[in-house]
Structure 1
Amino acid sequence: MIALTLEHLADAVRGALHPFGDDTADTIVEGAVDTDSRLIEPGGVFVAKPGDETDGHLFVGAAIERGAVVAIVERLVEAPVSQIVVADAVAALSDLARVVVAEVRAAGVLRIVGITGSNGKTTTKNLLARILEGEGETIAPKASFNNEVGAPLTMLRVTADTQYLVSEFGASGPGAIAHLAGLVEPDVGVVLMVGMAHAGGFGGLEGTFEAKSELVRALRPGGVAVLNADDARVAAMAPIAAERGVAVRWFGRGPEAAVRADDVVVTASGTSCVITVDGASLPLHLKVLGEHHVMNALAAIAAATTLGVSLADAVGRLETVEIAERWRMQPMGSDRVRIINDAYNASPDSMAAALRTLAQITGPDERMVAVLGAMSELGEYAGEEHDRVGELAVRLRIPRIVVIGAEARRMFLAAVAQGSWDDEAVFFATADEAYDYLVDELRDGDRVLVKSSNASGLRFLGDRLGESFS
């Protein structure tokens, strides 16, 4: 965090300062801000956030032991540290992020990119960060820090020297993206797609459209909306951009996109294509597995070139990316038995994309194996969407379909109903049971996809299989 006096810090979070020891209102604080006492570093600011399972106020002492010099709390605690009492610790995080980013922006060259979409946010964030890091100091979220806590924590990492802040915006409900993006008013807003991910929380695709379009509405006047020309719902955000006085930069696979990809070829070593930006073209070999990641790369290139990065630099830096993120199309195992661990997140769109990638990268003498778990946050659409995944797996002629967990059982039943009768599809209640089956079942030449939402925990099964067949 940038240097602030305790008084300025208290004003920023609309709290009451209670100095301790030799501290005064003029004491300078410039350490990192965190809500996890285990991650506090010397000089840090600890935010005692109440949680569903525990209360951050119980860990103020632990934060002090790790070097915290001030705690933002909702009630005073008995602890030898300066404290700032606020009405709502999570709201205080947002207030502080808004103030810090505004001060950095006013004093320097900070440019801000916001990214949202039903799928691909984290991958696009990582790809764009890799490009921008070559231009100057870049701050981007760790993992998927995209909610009311993670996004402000990322924003608070900016310094006086930061040139680019890349923010990922998830949506827990209507208004969430408007709030988070409103903290920083991005110069560039990237909308990847409007799909069924989390549709249960928005009442369907129209509600999801409204939520994702909040980013476009939050852009600074004179900014740029980077929109997916291939997604009709995203394309329908162009009039919103016009109302806000921001330009539109299109990316996609079609000829109308200013940033597009042609001649796409998918292999087990990655995806090759030709990238065209405003009429200039260069070949790109993306090591990240999956044709669907071409769109994420296009979005990153579109945002980067909007900020003045050359196409050659953007392509060159993307080609150094090995994986999008841990547990996202992560190759494991060996050439003998290849495991693709993609079990950090799942939606109907990403599940279909991963299954199609499995089919594309499996050679004629190799066998496809799909290990599938439940997709979360689909609400009333969960049953039919799990049915569709099971049906698609059969239509792609995947000869071994392993479904795990009661919430995913409809995938198994749909696969059987679709025509998987000869033991192609099997069901296990737990990941341990599936592991015991798979270590005996898998053989040389198998290409294995492990795919589910985070809540299903299959990412750890993928790790176990990767280690077993390494």
Structure 2
Amino acid sequence: MIALSLAEIAEVVGGQTHDIPDPSVQVTGQVVRDSREVEPGSLFVAFAGEHVDGHDFAAAVVEAGAVAVLASRPVGVPAVVVDDVQRALGALARHVVQKLGATLVALTGSAGKTSTKDLIAQVLRHRAPTVFTPGSLNNEIGLPLTALSATEETRFLVLEMGARGIGHIRYLTELTPPQIGLVINVGTAHIGEFGGREQIAQAKGELVEALPSEADGGAAILNADDPLVRAMATRTKAKVIFFGESGEADVRAENVRLTDKGQPAFRLHTPSGASDVTMRLYGEHHVSNALAAAAVAHELGMSADEIATALSEAGSLSRWRMEVTERPDGVTIVNDAYNANPESMRAALRALAAMGRASQAQGGRTWAVLGKMAELGDEALAEHDAVGRLAVRLNVGKLVAVGGREASWLQLGAYNEGSWGEESVHVSDAQAAVDLLRSELRPGDVVLVKASRSVGLERVAQALLPGAAEGEVSAR
């Protein structure tokens, strides 16, 4: 964080100083909520959770080097005490962002947010120091903590924004007002909470509504291939830039293809020129993510050649997202188990099919180890059934549906599509899936593991990696 005195912090957040001998002492380290991350100069934010109360660690964090604690009550060590710690954290983030003067890029969407954010960050790093959301810390706590990690050297701040209802993104944009806003897509993730895709579009569009006008430097980057996103152009006074494979897109891809390994390649077209891209990531769905990143980079002054070079060098920065490991015995494990929704599940299956084409010629098989997609509400049965059917249509060698009711719907969809033999199976849990795979995998096989985060299927992928113990799957 940029250096701020405790007196200035107290004024910004509307708090009272307690047990602080010298309010001019500065916070020079990171603002953290995890006591294990405290370093000399830190500010520790004490949240009172359901199981753990950060206030209980106050003495320990100060002993470890924290300058003070942001707390909701006096804690016997230097502290700035406020009525609402979360609101105070947000106010501090807004203050720091305003002082920084960095260009703030915010993005949202139903699927692909984290992968796209990682691509944008890696491209912009070629131009100037860039800070970005780690993993998926995209809510009212994670977002301000990311903003507060910026320093005086930061020129670009890339923030992922998530939403579980109307008004959530509006609130996040008030904490960290963006100059550039990107909407990737409107899908069915969390549709059970929102009630429909139109409501999701309403929530996601709050991002472009928050942008400055074009005259004041605002830019909305919108997916031309998604009608609900394209329509958001009417909801902003910012400059509008479209990306996609449509010929009408300002930033578009031509000659899209997959390499023998399933990595996308295409000709990138921007208003400033064209250049060829061959990505290190897996799956054709990353083309859209790459175009979104390219549109942001173009708006910030990068040439087509610069963007293409950066995209071709970019890798995966966040764990369990199409994380590919080739074992010494020739088996490939694709750990995409961080989360799942219908759109990302379909994209992962298509990527698996592409990756498996070369191996199938050598006798290898494709395996889809899939589990529940959460928060789909009344659409749950139909969406799980559709994913099971798609696995068959893509000629996935074997579907292993893991878990309870939703997994049975996956397997039933595959059965009804024509998977009548041993091409699909329903197993009870992660341990059963691992036992099956350990007994049947052979050189050349490609295994995709994917489900919603609550299922914990990453344990299956980890148990199949080189060096993993042969015993029971670890508990979550």
Shifted more, 312-321 versus 40-49: the winner is 312-321
Partner of 2:171: 179
Partner of 1:345: 339
Question: Does the CA contact (< 8 Å) of 1:370 and 1:448 recur in 2?
Answer: yes
| 2:408 is equivalent to residue 409 of structure 1 | yes
Partner of 1:100: 96
Unaligned runs of 5+ in 2: 470-476
Partner of 1:234: 229
Shift of 1:75: 1.2
Question: Does the CA contact (< 8 Å) of 1:173 and 1:201 recur in 2?
Answer: yes
| Residue among 365, 368, 375 paired with 1:367 | 365
In 1, Cα distance between equivalents of 2:429 and 2:445 = 22
Partner of 1:326: 319
Question: Does the CA contact (< 8 Å) of 1:337 and 1:469 recur in 2?
Answer: no
Partner of 2:380: 382
In 2, Cα distance between equivalents of 1:180 and 1:225 = 16
| Residue among 99, 109, 114 paired with 1:122 | 114
In 2, Cα distance between equivalents of 1:60 and 1:384 = 49
Shift of 1:206: 1.0
Partner of 1:31: 29
Shift of 1:143: 1.1
Question: Does the CA contact (< 8 Å) of 2:331 and 2:441 recur in 1?
Answer: yes
Partner of 1:288: 281
Shifted more, 295-304 versus 270-279: the winner is 270-279
Shifted more, 305-314 versus 231-240: the winner is 305-314
Q: Secondary structure at the match of 2:258?
A: strand
In 1, Cα distance between equivalents of 2:464 and 2:62 = 40
Question: Does the CA contact (< 8 Å) of 2:26 and 2:67 recur in 1?
Answer: no
| Residue among 244, 264, 271 paired with 1:278 | 271
RMSD: 1.6
Question: Does the CA contact (< 8 Å) of 2:407 and 2:426 recur in 1?
Answer: no
Shift of 1:333: 2.9
In 1, Cα distance between equivalents of 2:317 and 2:263 = 12
In 2, Cα distance between equivalents of 1:457 and 1:199 = 21
In 1, Cα distance between equivalents of 2:162 and 2:311 = 24
Q: 1:400 to 1:269 in 2, by over 3 A?
A: closer
Shift of 1:113: 0.4
Question: Does the CA contact (< 8 Å) of 1:34 and 1:40 recur in 2?
Answer: yes
Q: Secondary structure at the match of 1:351?
A: helix
Partner of 2:8: 8
Q: Secondary structure at the match of 1:151?
A: helix
Question: Does the CA contact (< 8 Å) of 1:391 and 1:415 recur in 2?
Answer: yes
Q: Secondary structure at the match of 2:436?
A: helix
Count of residue correspondences: 459
| Residue among 189, 198, 205 paired with 2:190 | 198
Shift of 1:226: 0.3
Unaligned runs of 5+ in 1: none
* CA displacement 1:36-58 (0-9 Å, x = unmatched): 11111111000101113221112
Question: Does the CA contact (< 8 Å) of 1:266 and 1:361 recur in 2?
Answer: no
Shifted more, 364-373 versus 87-96: the winner is 364-373
| 2:132 is equivalent to residue 140 of structure 1 | yes
In 2, Cα distance between equivalents of 1:394 and 1:61 = 58
Question: Does the CA contact (< 8 Å) of 2:274 and 2:305 recur in 1?
Answer: no
* CA displacement 1:443-469 (0-9 Å, x = unmatched): 122111111111111112112213269
| 2:432 is equivalent to residue 433 of structure 1 | yes
In 2, Cα distance between equivalents of 1:310 and 1:151 = 29
In 2, Cα distance between equivalents of 1:270 and 1:181 = 34
| 2:353 is equivalent to residue 356 of structure 1 | no
In 1, Cα distance between equivalents of 2:254 and 2:146 = 35
Partner of 1:311: 304
Partner of 2:473: none
Question: Does the CA contact (< 8 Å) of 1:269 and 1:287 recur in 2?
Answer: no
Partner of 1:225: 220
Q: Counterparts of 1:243-254 in structure 2 under 5 Å?
A: 245-254=237-246
Letter in 2 for 1:292: H
Shift of 1:399: 2.4
Q: Counterparts of 1:38-187 in structure 2 under 5 Å?
A: 38-78=36-76, 81-105=77-101, 110-187=102-179
Shift of 1:384: 1.7
In 2, Cα distance between equivalents of 1:176 and 1:346 = 21
Question: Does the CA contact (< 8 Å) of 2:133 and 2:159 recur in 1?
Answer: yes
Shift of 1:184: 2.2
In 1, Cα distance between equivalents of 2:466 and 2:191 = 35
Question: Does the CA contact (< 8 Å) of 2:144 and 2:176 recur in 1?
Answer: no
Q: Secondary structure at the match of 1:325?
A: coil
Partner of 2:290: 297
In 2, Cα distance between equivalents of 1:237 and 1:468 = 49
Question: Does the CA contact (< 8 Å) of 1:138 and 1:162 recur in 2?
Answer: yes
Q: Secondary structure at the match of 1:190?
A: strand
Question: Does the CA contact (< 8 Å) of 1:405 and 1:428 recur in 2?
Answer: yes
Question: Does the CA contact (< 8 Å) of 2:399 and 2:424 recur in 1?
Answer: yes
In 2, Cα distance between equivalents of 1:219 and 1:31 = 30
Q: Secondary structure at the match of 2:400?
A: strand
Q: Secondary structure at the match of 1:319?
A: helix
Shift of 1:346: 0.7
* CA displacement 1:117-154 (0-9 Å, x = unmatched): 00111111111111111211111011111111110000
Q: Secondary structure at the match of 1:249?
A: strand
Q: Counterparts of 1:439-454 in structure 2 under 5 Å?
A: 439-454=438-453
* CA displacement 1:2-23 (0-9 Å, x = unmatched): 1212111011111111133xx3
In 2, Cα distance between equivalents of 1:297 and 1:374 = 28
TM, length-normalised to structure 2 = 0.93
Percent identical:
44
In 1, Cα distance between equivalents of 2:56 and 2:431 = 35
Letter in 2 for 1:156: L
Moved over 6 A (4+): none
